[in-house]
Chain A
Amino acid sequence: MATATLPARDAKLYKPEVPPDWCPGCGDYGVLTVLQRACGELGIPNERLMVISGIGCSSNLPGFFRSYGMHSLHGRSLPVATGAKMANHEMTVIACGGDGDGYGIGQGHFIHAMRRNVNLTYIVMDNEIYGLTTGQTSPTSESGMKTKSTPFGNPEGQLNPIALALAAGCGFVGRGFSGDINHLKSLYTQAIQYPGFALIDVFSPCVTFNKQNTFGWFKERVYKLEDKGHDATNWNAAMDRSKEWGAQIPIGLFYKNPNPKPSIDAADPALQGEGLAKAKKLGLTVEQRKKLIQEYV
Chain B
Amino acid sequence: MQDNRILLNDSEKNRYNRQMIMFDWGEEGQIKLKKATVFIAGAGGLGSSVAIYLASAGVGCIRICDSGKVELSNLNRQILYTDDDIGKKKVLSAAQTLSKINPNIKIVHLFEKIEKGNISKLAGNAQIIIDCLDNFQTRYIVNEYAVNAGRPFIHTGVYGMAGQITFIFSPETPCLECVFPDAPPPEILPVVGTTAGIMGCLEAQETLKYLTGRGTLLKNRLIVLDGDNLTFEELHLEKSPSCKICSSKFN
A binds B: no
